[in-house]
Structure 1
Amino acid sequence: MKILLLEDEYALRKSIKELLEDSGYIVDEYSNGQEAIEAIYNSKYDLLLLDVNVPGINGFELLENLRKNNIDTPTIFITSLTEIDSLERGYDLGCCDYIKKPFDLKELKLRVASALKLASLKTKEDIIELPEGYSYNTKCFTLTKDGKEITLSKTEKMILDLFIKHKNQVVTPEMIIEYVWEDFVDPANVRVQINNLRKKLDKNLIKNIRGIGYKLEA
C-alpha cells in the first residue's frame, strides 16, 4: 500500500513516515502542497494524509482540486483546526476521516488501517466477475482478464457497460443505439462495433441471439 503524506512540521512528518514504513506501507513525504498535488497526478496512491495549513496550496484546496478531477483517493486530514466549520468543510470535500493534533501515533496507525480496509471493501463492490477470467470495474469502466487490462475504445466501453447492466438478458440493437449514440445510426455500424468488441473477448462471452440481439452470459 502506497501513502502520500503532506505535513510541513519536520519532526512530526518524519515520525509518521517511520511509523507507517515500519508497518509495511510505502510512504512519499511532502511539506509543500503544490509538490504533493503534482506527485498525486503523476503516481497512484492508496491513501492521502494531508495537513491543512501547509505552504503552496493548503490541504483543503488540494483535495478540492482532486475531487473536481475525479480523483477519489481516500483522504485523512491531519490538522490542529478544531472549529466545526473546518471539520464540515473537510468532510464536504470528501475526506474519510479527521485526526486532530496532537495525537498518539498509534491512533493514526489505526485510522490509516481502517481507511484502507474500507476503501478495499468499496473497490470489491465495484468489481463484477465474468466467465473465462474476466472482471469488470463498474466505477472505472475497465475490463481485465486474469488481472491484465484490455484496451477498449470509448464506444466499446459503453457497449460493454450496457451488456454488464443487462447481463444474462437480451440486448437489442435499438437499445445499443439509444445508449451509445442517443440518435439514429446505421445498424451496420452497431454490428461493426459489436464484432470489434467480440474480437477482444472470449468468443463465447457475447452471444448472438439471431433476429433479436445479443446477450452477455455471466
Structure 2
Amino acid sequence: MKILLLEDDFAYKESISEYLQSLGYDVDTASNGLEACDKIALNVYHLFIFDIKVPEISGHEVMKYVKSLNITTPIMIMTSLIDIDDMAIGYELGCNEYLKKPFELAEMKFRVAELMRKYYSVGDKSIVFIDKIYEFNTASKDIKFKDKTINLTTGEMEILEYLLLRKGSFVGIDEIISEVGNLGTNSVDIRMHIMKIRQKTSKNFIISKRGLGYKINA
C-alpha cells in the first residue's frame, strides 16, 4: 500500500517515513504543497498524510486539488493547529482522520491501519495490484486506475486472468492460444488483444520478451 506524506519538518518527515516503511508501507514524501500536487498528478496512492502549515501552498489547498481530480483516497491530517475552525475546514474538505502533533508513532500506526482496513479491506486476497498502480478485483473482475474502472472485452479479460495465474513468468503465445478460451487461432489475434490492453492501461502493464512471450507483474 502506497502513502504520500506531506511534511516540511525534516526530522518529522524522516522519522514518520522510516517508521511507516518498517511497517511495510511504500512511502513517498513531499516537503511543500506544490511538490505534493505534482506527485499526486503522477502517482496512485492509498493514503494521504498531510501537514497543513507547509510552504508554497497549504495542506488545505492540496486537499482541494485532490478533490478537484475526483480522487477518493482517504486523507489523514497531522497538525499542531487546534483551533476548531481549522479542524472544521479539514473535515469539510474531506479529511478522514485528524492526528494532533505531537503524537506517538504507535498512535499513527493504529490510525493508519484502521483507515487501510476501512477503505481497502486489507487482507482481502481478491485485490491484486498490477504494475503498482492498477487494482484488479478477482472476485468482481474490475480493474481500476485512480478509482476509475477500465473496461476490457471478454477476450482481453481472459488473457489478463491467465497471465495473473502465471504472474512473474513469461507465457508464450502458443500456450495462451491453447489455454485461454476463444481468442483466435493465430499469434496476430493474441498480439491484437494485448495491444488493446496496453492502449487501455500502459505499455508496461504487460511486458514482452522476444522468444519468451508475455508477462505481467502483480
TM-score, normalising length: structure 1? 0.59
Q: CA offset at residue 53 of structure 1?
A: 0.3
Q: CA offset at residue 140 of structure 1?
A: 2.8
Q: Secondary structure at the match of 1:29?
A: strand
State the partner residue of 1:105: 105
State the partner residue of 1:87: 87
The one-character-per-residue Cα deviations of 1:185-209 (angstroms, maximum 9, x if unpaired) are xxxxxxxxxxxxxxx9xxxxxxxxx
* Structure 2 letter corresponding to 1:140: K
Would you say the 8 A contact 1:129–1:136 is kept in 2? no
Q: CA offset at residue 12 of structure 1?
A: 0.9
* Identity within the alignment, %: 40
Q: CA offset at residue 46 of structure 1?
A: 0.8
- Measured in 2, the distance between the counterparts of 1:50 and 1:148 equals 36
- In structure 2, the CA distance between the partners of 1:103 and 1:37, relative to structure 1 (3 Å rule), is same
Structure 2 alignment gaps of length 5 or more: 127-136, 162-195, 197-218
Structure 1 alignment gaps of length 5 or more: 150-199, 201-218
- Measured in 1, the distance between the counterparts of 2:148 and 2:158 equals 17
RMSD: 2.9
- Measured in 2, the distance between the counterparts of 1:85 and 1:113 equals 27
Are 1:25 and 2:45 counterparts? no
* Structure 2 letter corresponding to 1:15: S
Q: CA offset at residue 135 of structure 1?
A: 3.6
Are 1:140 and 2:148 counterparts? yes
Bigger share in helix = 1
State the partner residue of 1:54: 54
- In structure 2, the CA distance between the partners of 1:135 and 1:3, relative to structure 1 (3 Å rule), is closer
* Equivalent pairs, count: 146
Structure 2 counterparts to residues 64-213 of structure 1, below 5 A: 64-121=64-121, 129=139, 134-135=141-142, 140-143=148-151, 145=157, 148=160
TM-score, normalising length: structure 2? 0.59
When Rg is computed on C-alpha atoms for both structures, the one with the higher figure is 1
Would you say the 8 A contact 2:19–2:105 is kept in 1? yes
Would you say the 8 A contact 1:4–1:29 is kept in 2? yes
- In structure 2, the CA distance between the partners of 1:32 and 1:20, relative to structure 1 (3 Å rule), is same
Q: Secondary structure at the match of 2:148?
A: coil
